[in-house]
Chain A
Amino acid sequence: MATPSRSLPRAARGRSRRERLATWGLTLAGLLAVAITLTIIALFVHGSLPFLRTVPLGEFLGGTRWAPIHEPAGYGILPLIGATLVTTGIALGVAVPLGLLAAVFLSAYAPSPVRRVLKPALELLAGVPTVVYGFFALRFVTPLLQGFIPSLGFWNGLSAGLVMGVMIIPYMASLSEDVLYAVPRSLWEGAYALGATRFEAVTRVVIPAALSGIGAAFILALTRAVGETMIVALAAGRTPTWPPDPRQPLLTLTTAIVNIATGDHEATAFIWSAVFAIGLLLFLTTLVLNTVSYLVIQRFREKYA
């Protein structure tokens, strides 16, 4: 017999140290993203303090006149929020149905060669620079629409929203298609075996099963629309109006920031603070919309497996 062995073989020192290092490194990487987000929020809160201390919150959130560099100044944010909701609403009105239909077609109807060609082509739409979209809206869509709506302004929220909708179709379609395509074959077969048509199988079994992913696509599209700047800056104009009329020029939250940041007026520290306040509000708007969508989706999703 050999000498009694030393219980269990000890882990090589270097190896376990590497393992610990990897754990720490990865944890740090994961926390970094959260830390950056929190830092941004903190900076925005800090930056907007001078503004929020001076302008009563009621006037800021409830006011309908936005004129920070005029005399007398108006600091009501409602025209900006209204404009953002109008353009976002129009954009989602275009992107959600079209994106979802495209996703259903690609995942359930298109023969696989068609799918292989069409899906990347659709995703290409997301790669078009937004300035191109903006110019397209201003110089092509608006004149086209003026043929039907004579009262449509040179700058207006309608064509900006429509073109923005086209821009976010791929976000809606591509992500939805992924989740629809991932619904197990067995659910399709279960529906078919009961005498469902393809349309019934898609609408009653496959889409509900994929709803949480479709909801994620919706949230992404929503966030892109709320945050989109270039298209609205070019095509929707820069006039804060209340109540917002999609046929007229609008000033969204994002373009209000652009306006101040690129204006040739003398930007005082106070006005910069107003920009921070708008930024904070933009951030909170996105957060609230995301949370609400998430909760709605949780309520209606059907979980498989």
Chain B
Amino acid sequence: MSEHVAPPVLSTRKFSLWYGSHQAVIEVDLDIAERQITAIIGPSGCGKSTLIRAFNRLNDLIPGVRTAGQILFRGEPLYGRGVDPVEVRRRIGMVFQKPNPFPKSVFENVAFGLRINGFRGDLKAKVEEALARAALLDEVKGDLHRKTGYDLSGGQQQRLCIARALAVDPEVLLMDEPCSALDPIATAKIEDLIRELASSVTVVIVTHNMQQAARVSDYTAFMLLGELVECGPTRELFTRPKDSRTEAYITGRFG
């Protein structure tokens, strides 16, 4: 990849991950470019979600998970000795497949990350800024304390989760199929939002929807059976795939 000169924010080096005896990710080498949108696509069970959850060490919470190889975050080994996963997760935020707002007010949802990280400053301004970045502020402005996350529509809930993640100013935002539970209109809003976010934050998005990857991402990685088959600029990957398996997948012959 010669188009970007900046060093990658995240890069995996022969990274493998096992759930017990099942190897879900097999020796993946992948670079995530700064302030770009990287989509990871592939059929169900290809290891794409597992890989993205390795980026913020969320897999650590699952008993029996083992890793090999490395993931470098700004050149430092993410799984190195003495690295605190809690600190990692503060710097690498995540949005999940199903919106998971906390059963608190809209305000407290967004303030949560700030509060636990000992934010000093204008909490209200910071919360509103995050909501604005997630294109939700206008819709909830009058109800910040009155409505809970569950009073919002599905699409709003997901944008609330994005605002919540953005509030702590993460360097990377991981999105694990963020639109799979949403209708097309809500999906379109989130996709627009993702494009806007890329000016300030690095985005890695996992999706099973190839059109979505083609619409929003700068780079696309295709995974199959735990392996990274191919990665490149999105346009290139979709128009001139180098690997026959990629071609078969994007032309809809399986998956």
Q: Which residues of A contact B (CB under 8 A)?
A: 111-112, 184, 186-197, 200, 204-205, 208-209, 302-305
Cβ of B164 to closest chain A Cβ, rounded Å: 7
Q: Give A246 to B103 CA distance when docked, in angstroms.
A: 41
Tell me which residues across on chain A come within 8 A of B61, comparing CB atoms.
Answer: 188-189, 192
Q: Give A96 to B170 CA distance when docked, in angstroms.
A: 39
Q: How many A-B residue pairs have CB under 8 A?
A: 78
Q: Give A209 to B100 CA distance when docked, in angstroms.
A: 13
Chain B residues 77 to 94 lying within 8 A of chain A, measured CB to CB, are 86-87, 89-91, 93-94
Across the two chains, which residue of chain B brings its CB closest to A201? B116
Cβ of A210 to closest chain B Cβ, rounded Å: 10
Find B90's partner among A184, A186, A194, A303 (CB 8 Å cutoff): A194
Quick check: is B58 within 8 A (CB to CB) of the other chain?
yes
Quick check: is B98 within 8 A (CB to CB) of the other chain?
yes
Tell me which residues across on chain A come within 8 A of B90, comparing CB atoms.
Answer: 194-195
**A194 close to B100 (CB less than 8 A):** no
Find A193's partner among B104, B150, B165 (CB 8 Å cutoff): B165
**A190 close to B102 (CB less than 8 A):** yes
Q: Give A304 to B115 CA distance when docked, in angstroms.
A: 21
**B148 close to A204 (CB less than 8 A):** no
**A302 close to B103 (CB less than 8 A):** yes
**A304 close to B103 (CB less than 8 A):** yes
**A303 close to B113 (CB less than 8 A):** no
Tell me which residues across on chain A come within 8 A of B165, comparing CB atoms.
Answer: 193-194
Q: Give A3 to B34 CA distance when docked, in angstroms.
A: 76
Given A111-B63, A192-B58, A193-B58, 18 other A-B residues pairs in contact with their CB atoms under 8 A:
A112-B63, A186-B96, A187-B102, A189-B58, A190-B96, A190-B100, A190-B164, A193-B94, A194-B112, A194-B164, A194-B168, A195-B87, A195-B116, A197-B86, A208-B103, A209-B103, A302-B104, A304-B150
Would you list 15 pairs from A and B whose C-beta atoms are within 8 A, ordered by A residue? A189-B96, A190-B101, A190-B164, A191-B112, A192-B89, A193-B93, A193-B165, A194-B165, A195-B86, A195-B87, A197-B86, A204-B116, A208-B103, A209-B102, A303-B103
Tell me which residues across on chain A come within 8 A of B117, comparing CB atoms.
Answer: 195
**A200 close to B116 (CB less than 8 A):** yes
Q: Give A193 to B86 CA distance when docked, in angstroms.
A: 8
Most-contacted residue by chain B among A111, A195, A200 (CB, 10 A): A195
Tell me which residues across on chain A come within 8 A of B96, comparing CB atoms.
Answer: 186, 189-190, 193
**A204 close to B112 (CB less than 8 A):** yes
Quick check: is B56 within 8 A (CB to CB) of the other chain?
yes
